[in-house]
Structure 1
């Protein structure tokens, strides 16, 4: 407790109806013309229209940029930044999943600082603050609505870059559990595995603190108790709210403690093969936790205990108990049925391992991995 710690988080409003406050907060920021960032799926689900109505109630003009794809590309960010400038916008409002929120952050970076979005890879490489940013998450996985991270795909290099800066913490996030009603079961499963990975990696991170530990364990507890029921009962508002709360707490944890090897590997896998991020995490999580276990067994044992709600109903212990507890959730998600679609050759595994070593998330992993070890982890998970 004698170590200085910094903790970043945005102002946020949590609860049903929060999405309808978009206009009020845009007005508070003095917005005259808002760039509303979304995607076709969010438009179809009706959430873009809800935000539009809220802005119109306050007589705030807006321009819609909805060309964002999953795993947002640098080209989309550059297009959005040009659109922001050409339309004389002064506030960015993003409604969507992690791809939309990350794209909006990237748009803000380039709009304020110029250059190319790939110029800002790494930690604290953004010289000037981005425009005012309002985030409205419609999934419960990325936690981009409360984090200082943005993940952008390099379309030429076929990789993902991580941009980390306090400039990327939103000015306010409107976190409305009702937005989860329009998610498919498959998407819910994938993004919740992302939340689980965020919270586990934050808890074992070399940069963890007593503050991030509380949020990480809070998220792990919520997932352990409510993830499977939330998948089974998609119309239960309380269960959906618990999953949104888990995403919030996991985001507060990893935004300040950073992540680890699972995310380093998932980033390059998603960039090179365009695989869905949450599914990549779900596939990799058990093998990486097994690899890391001996670096901090007491922390991983606490994760196991928390996932089980403090009860040990299994004869397993240590590493095996951890893998069993995580495996129950991964199995319930249904993603293992998709594993056949995500196969890699041995040369691909080595290439991915080389790229993973350059990912900023690897720095805080509890164990320092080498090239051969990472390649082996890819092969154990995805080898043809």
Structure 2
């Protein structure tokens, strides 16, 4: 095992343990686990299933396979595939209306983070009979949502194991977070086989989202020995196997390792929260409808440089995992940033937010929204609006 990794874990488990809680859904992990969907729907007493997905997942065959499995078990299925890459509040509200009209009693979400976040939000709206906008924030969901089972088809968002649902308020061009233990799925069927239809570009961007989850949860001011364990193991797996999955997408072993890393990272951030990378990425996604994983990949190195002085020991441990050697005790962020840049270069992610359509005139509004994002609360270094503006400018 990597020396820096081992020493970091030993340091973290010594001394006093602050009080922390840890939440996770029931997880069924392994190739072919998606075929168990009807069994688990019945275990939750579901009879009339609301299947949330998107057209791309139906085209790939995964959602249709789940639908057939459910119908063959004698279950009724209502399809809702009107989900955008960054799910809109209007899509959630239409889904909740359709759910109620058809008397559905359980939600199955098949897809990436968008389908799963939309499905989770639909359940909360249906139970609380309110606008999804009223659920924004921490612990604002009064009544538990309908039972929900997730089947992720990307290795990155980890919406299937997290307390978060991220929705776009299209009127204000911003993303907002619903953070509540009621957002945890009841069951998640994590089947790496579903990721083989991802393009190399999607593999890279969703995988970098997972790596950001690991980095940000590890340096979060709400981290714990439990979340650190998952964050470090996620980093180890993703650094080694994500570039391999990008280069050789048909190798199921690489897909398995990346999916496992994504799950570990999700368990870490669901309980330790995130930081400035995600606050800024959410703002970009809400305003410009930018791909979330790509936003994170562009911003991570800039936020690492900003945060480094507040968590140098932890960043050195992350650097040690990436380098597979013990970093210098007085090293700065440059070596770690160099390794992150090498990784994104390997996977064809060109640096620069301007390549994604971000312009100088957008930065003020983006910074104001990022400053209000709840992920900023757990960033290891406090950031002002002016700090955030500077980081956006630096990332252009």
Query: What's the counterpart of residue 157 of structure 1?
Result: 172
Secondary structure of the residue aligned to 1:336 is coil
What TM-score, normalized by structure 1, do the two folds share? 0.97
Displacement after TM superposition at 1:175 (Å) = 0.2
Query: Does residue 143 of structure 2 align to residue 128 of structure 1?
Result: yes
Query: What's the counterpart of residue 346 of structure 1?
Result: 360
Per-residue Cα deviation, 1:202-245 (whole angstroms, up to 9, x for no partner):
00000000000000001000011111111111111000000000
1:266 to 259, 281, 290: 281
Displacement after TM superposition at 1:329 (Å) = 1.2
Contact between 1:227 and 1:329, CA under 8 Å: does it hold in 2? no
C-alpha separation in 1, matches of 2:24 and 2:203: 24
1:321 to 335, 340, 361: 335
Per-residue Cα deviation, 1:171-197 (whole angstroms, up to 9, x for no partner):
000000000111111100000010010
Q: Which runs of 5+ in 2 are unaligned?
A: 1-15
Query: What's the counterpart of residue 29 of structure 1?
Result: 44
Q: Do the aligned partners of residues 310 and 58 (structure 1) sit closer, same or farther apart at CA in structure 2, a change above 3 Å counting?
A: farther
Matches within 5 A, 1:189-268: 189-268=204-283
Query: What's the counterpart of residue 187 of structure 1?
Result: 202
Query: What's the counterpart of residue 356 of structure 1?
Result: 370
Displacement after TM superposition at 1:306 (Å) = 1.3
Matches within 5 A, 1:289-304: 289-304=304-319
Q: Which runs of 5+ in 1 are unaligned?
A: none
1:14 to 18, 24, 29: 29
2:79 to 64, 70, 81: 64
1:41 to 56, 61, 69: 56
Matches within 5 A, 1:139-178: 139-178=154-193
1:88 to 103, 112, 123: 103
Displacement after TM superposition at 1:328 (Å) = 1.3
C-alpha separation in 2, matches of 1:201 and 1:285: 9
C-alpha separation in 2, matches of 1:151 and 1:4: 27
C-alpha separation in 1, matches of 2:351 and 2:319: 25
Query: What's the counterpart of residue 333 of structure 1?
Result: 347
Query: What is the aligned length?
Result: 381
1:367 to 364, 373, 381: 381
Displacement after TM superposition at 1:44 (Å) = 0.4
C-alpha separation in 2, matches of 1:269 and 1:108: 26
C-alpha separation in 2, matches of 1:345 and 1:339: 8
Per-residue Cα deviation, 1:50-73 (whole angstroms, up to 9, x for no partner):
111221232111110001010000
Contact between 2:153 and 2:194, CA under 8 Å: does it hold in 1? yes
C-alpha separation in 2, matches of 1:153 and 1:353: 17
Secondary structure of the residue aligned to 1:3 is coil
* RMSD (Å) for aligned C-alpha atoms: 1.5
C-alpha separation in 2, matches of 1:343 and 1:175: 34
Query: Does residue 131 of structure 2 align to residue 105 of structure 1?
Result: no
Query: What's the counterpart of residue 381 of structure 1?
Result: 395
Secondary structure of the residue aligned to 1:266 is helix
Secondary structure of the residue aligned to 2:188 is strand
Contact between 2:352 and 2:395, CA under 8 Å: does it hold in 1? no
2:131 to 105, 116, 127: 116
Displacement after TM superposition at 1:338 (Å) = 7.6
C-alpha separation in 2, matches of 1:49 and 1:338: 38
C-alpha separation in 2, matches of 1:325 and 1:130: 42
Per-residue Cα deviation, 1:301-336 (whole angstroms, up to 9, x for no partner):
101111223466x9x943111101211111122121
What TM-score, normalized by structure 2, do the two folds share? 0.94
